[in-house]
Amino acid sequence: MKEQPKKEMHYGKEVWVNPTTESLRRSECLCLNCDNLKPGQSDNCHIAQSLYQICVTENIALAVTRCPLFKPK
């Protein structure tokens, strides 16, 4: 790893964070740059909705790097 994981508080709980991937997540995650991501809407991507659910349940964060359904904005 480029940088050692560190502890931070997120959503009221202490979690381990990878500073390198965390800093890239918003700009590099396919979902966060995809036209199929429509949070809160009935036509939101079903894959992204599943990933969101596991993130909320387990207090994790993901950066998607592969997807067959990616649609550029």
Q: Which of residues 39-58 bind ligand SF4 (CB under 6 A)?
A: 45, 47-48
Q: Let me know: does 69 contact 36? Beta carbons within 8 Å.
A: yes
Nearer to ligand SF4, 21 or 45 (CB): 45
Nearer to ligand SF4, 43 or 58 (CB): 43
30 is a site residue for ligand SF4 (CB under 6 A): yes
Q: Is 36 in the site for ligand SF4 (CB under 6 A)?
A: yes
Query: How many Å apart are CA 45 and CA 19, to the nearest integer?
Result: 27
* Positive or negative torsion for Cα 49, 44, 66, 13: negative
